[in-house]
Structure 1
Amino acid sequence: MNEPVIEKRKVTLDGFSFVGRAARTTNEAEMTEEGMIPKVNEYFFENQLLEKISHRKNNNIIALYTNYESDEKGSYEYAVGCEVGEDNIFSDEMKRFTIPEQKYIVFTTKKGPLNEVILEAWQFIWNWSKDNKRAFTADFELYDEKSIDPQNGQADIYISVK
């Protein structure tokens, strides 16, 4: 069986501003019909919210996990959107987040159907987290040019660390 993560590297990123559609959830809720992540994603794409965000830094889409109550067992805020400049305009359907400078471990998924390779990578990360110190400040999935084909794509998952 192929490993779910083909690369892992440590980086420090400058802080950035993000705008996206957001909802509060838990990992426990996401394992049920009550999960908010699919609903947030569906609303974001069906209503073409990316096009309603001005001053985008690029065309990358970010799935953000932030404002953690505690750790992977507590609630957190999930949002899908993009990195923006300071003077951007966005609709009431969205929210702005400020992501601080942070150290991350970046996990690059293998290529494949994005919904499958992302889930496999997160399962790998949850196992990795048992022996590593996560910061639980802001984690995110980055969907860039490697992710254009949802049936044979690849993404980077940034996990904040101490």
Structure 2
Amino acid sequence: MAIIQNAFIQRKSFQLIGISAVTSNEAEMKNEGVIEGLWGKIYSSEFIQTIPNKINQSIFALYTNYESDETGTYTFVIGSEVVQDTKEALGMEKFEVPEAKYIVFTTRKGPVQEVVIEAWQEIWEWSKTNERAFLSDFEVYDERTIDPENSQVDIYISVK
């Protein structure tokens, strides 16, 4: 199992500053997507260090502005949580993540790309019998992801 635990929580709204692009799961599966390129941009530059007023060093991968459900388009964002009302730096955007109820899935430890993909496969399976809100979902890459070969990620899925 890719997911070692899950729990429901209510999370207050917060702001992220980062870079984004519109994509779909279909495009990503066909290697026509943008997610890999955005991660490449993050790691090939000092982008994260230039985000002003970060709350901590965690990196967020946000899925928001869903067209419909997992079959439609959505906006994918990579960035950091910032102090409320922070102005975005040049080339970045600010996103408000609304207050919502989430189920938090925690991956097993392992190679980061592997454990995140495994977890999403289980989340899609879970979604067949549970109601997602498709409001905003996000992954949190914190101190547990410093070693990319032995990482653990929390994935927050908005629920009704």
Looking at structure 1, the residues matched to 48 and 87 of structure 2 have their Cα atoms a distance apart, in angstroms, of 11
Gaps spanning 5+ residues in structure 2: where?
Answer: none
2:126 to 124, 128, 147: 128
**Cα drift, residue 68 of structure 1:** 0.3
Alignment of 1:29-108 (within 5 A): 29-108=27-106
Instruction: Give the Cα–Cα distance (whole angstroms) in 2 for the partners of residues 72 and 92 of structure 1.
Output: 31
Residue 9 (structure 2) aligns with: 11
Deviation (angstroms), 1:17: 0.4
Q: Structure 2: how far apart are the matches of 1:22 and 1:28? A: 18
* Alignment-mate amino acid for residue 116 of structure 1: E
**Aligned-pair Cα RMSD in Å:** 1.0
* CA displacement 1:117-160 (0-9 Å, x = unmatched): 00000000000000000000100000111111110010000000
CA shift, 1:35, in A, is: 1.0
Give the SS at the match of 1:20. strand
Percent identity between the two aligned chains: 49
Q: Aligned pair count?
A: 160
TM-score (ref. length: structure 1):
0.96
Judge conservation of contact 2:52–2:89 (CA < 8 Å) in 1.
no
**Letter matched to residue 28 of structure 2:** E
**Superposed CA offset, 1:47-67 (max 9, x none):** 221111110000000000000
Cα separation, 2, equivalents of 1:33 and 1:145: 29
